[in-house]
Amino acid sequence: MNQGKYVFTQLTDFLDRNRFNYIVRKYDGDKGIRDFTCWNQMLCMIFGQLSGRESLRDLIVVLTAHKSKSYHLGFGGWVHLPTLAKANARRNYKIYEQFASYMIGYARRVCANDNFEVEVDGDIYAFDSSTIDLCLSVFWWATFRRRKGAIKMHTLFDVKTSIPSFIHITPASVNDVKAMDYIPYEQGSYYIFDRGYNDFERFYNIHSQKAFFVFRARDNLKFRRIYSIKADRASGVRSDQIGVFTTGKSRERYPEKIRRVRYHDRENNIDFTFLTNDTKLTANQIALLYKNRWQIELFFKWIKQHLKVKSFWGHTENAVRIQIYCAVIAYCLVSIVAKELDVNRPIYEILQILSISLTDKTPVKELLASSDYKNVKEHIYNLLLFN
């Protein structure tokens, strides 16, 4: 069914255009637009993400080189630099935010994993933020410090599917803890936090909503043991206790009993102290849940290295948001394609192969199954050297 279709078109066939058009109509995104629609704009941005373009001008140079293929790639007519720049600056970023949210939901359903190493009834989420530095003289709206600009990408990461479930973008000056107020907590699900999210009132809010949290506590925690749970010290568990906070503010903010697990990571020779409101999982399972929090760190590292969210193609806040949401859409799209086509490769390898193959006409499944990843970088080098 993909005969004669470009690889990029085969990929974008997995995008729900009806859903996108519904969102566009909701925000009058195409009002007064004749040629370069919101759909054309999004496909251009996704093409730029997947092909690894460094700037808007770089993207336009590539699109111009494929001018004869523009219509079949979904870009409409010939895309001009001022047209795309103006669209990114002026069109409502909420169109792309909401479509990214839809793609996240779609990807999570497709990539659902029932064989996770810790069996729980609900989902497992890791929450953290990543700061993206910006030049204050160019991105004047992103004030962080006196001579520095930055924004934060607060992310709720679905550990079972390796898909971001929720992304909230704020100025970098916003405290990480405040972003916890925007998380849509689900009854029975687990939420994993690092030491920076030290707010017992907000943890009690999670407990009140019948969800569970695992939090890496600070070493100076004031805690009184009520009773201990038998611990397997040979496995690294130093202690497993139920108790209460002893300082006035902490006890006022979290008035009920809480569980404290002390664990020694032998591999890295690090001691951890975890707080949780779960009393059913073993101490080792609590430690394993926290260990999986590092998936969100890998996600931040991966998306900064392999998608364009550090060098931005526009200077306005609107353009920056559109680019970030299109990066998320591209990430989800590749995840969906890999799962739907049963491609047994890491997303990083898939992106490397796609980056030099978007205008080929090879069926995507055949392309990803037959490509030798070890030769991809050499092939990219040869293309740059001899073309």
Q: What is the pLDDT of residues 121-140, one digit of tens each?
A: 888 999 999 888 776 656 66
What does each C-alpha distance from 376 to 200, 352, 353 come to in angstroms? 49, 7, 6
pLDDT, residue 379, reads: 41
pLDDT, residue 140, reads: 65
Residue 159 in any domain: the answer is no
Residue 106 in any domain: the answer is no
Question: From CA 3, how far away is CA 332, in angstroms rounded?
Answer: 24
Measured from the Cβ of residue 177, the count of other Cβ atoms closer than 10 Å reads 14
Q: Structural domain tally of the chain?
A: 2
Rounded to two decimals, the pTM is: 0.77
Q: Show the DSSP H helices in 13-136 as ranges.
A: 17-26, 38-51, 56-65, 70-73, 81-90, 93-110
Residue count of the chain, please give it: 387
Residues 15 and 93 both lie in one domain: yes
Question: From CA 252, how far away is CA 12, in angstroms rounded?
Answer: 52
Residues 16 and 77 both lie in one domain: yes
Beta partners for residue 259, in sequence order: 242, 276
Identify the domain boundary among 237, 264, 281.
281
Q: Which helix (H) or strand (E) holds 260?
A: strand 258-265
pLDDT, residue 129, reads: 92
Residue 17 in any domain: the answer is yes
SS (H, E, C) 336-384: HHHHHCCCCCCHHHHHHHHHCCCCCCCCHHHHHHHCCHHHHHHHHHHHH
Identify the domain boundary among 221, 256, 281.
281
Identify the domain boundary among 281, 304, 324.
281
Residue 206 in any domain: the answer is yes
pLDDT, residue 165, reads: 86
Q: What angle do CA 68, 69, 70 make, to 5 degrees?
A: 95
CA dihedral of residues 205, 209, 215, 218 (deg, nearest 10): 20
Written as tens digits, the pLDDT of the chain (387 aa) is 456 788 999 999 999 999 999 999 999 999 888 888 999 999 999 999 898 888 888 888 988 888 888 888 888 777 888 989 999 999 999 999 999 999 998 998 888 776 677 778 888 999 999 888 776 656 666 677 767 778 888 999 998 888 888 888 888 888 899 999 999 999 999 999 998 898 999 999 999 999 999 999 887 788 898 999 888 888 888 999 999 988 878 889 999 999 999 998 888 888 899 999 999 999 999 999 998 888 888 888 877 776 566 567 878 889 888 988 998 899 899 989 998 988 888 777 888 888 888 989 889 988 888 665 555 444 433 333 333
Residue 169 in any domain: the answer is no
Residues 14 and 76 both lie in one domain: yes
Residue 213 in any domain: the answer is yes
Residue 298 in any domain: the answer is no
Task: Tell me which residue range forms the domain holding 51.
Answer: 7-97+314-386
Residue 40 in any domain: the answer is yes
Q: What angle do CA 221, 227, 233 make, to 5 degrees?
A: 80
Q: Which of 368, 344, 364 is nearest to 12 (CA)?
A: 364
What does each C-alpha distance from 3 to 9, 339, 365 come to in angstroms? 11, 21, 12
In 3-state terms, the chain is what percent helix, strand and coil (to 5)? Answer: 45, 20, 35
Residues 351 and 275 both lie in one domain: no
pLDDT, residue 381, reads: 35
Residues 93 and 12 both lie in one domain: yes
Question: From CA 215, how far away is CA 197, in angstroms rounded?
Answer: 8
Burial class (CB in 10 A: 0-12, 13-18, 19+), 120: middle
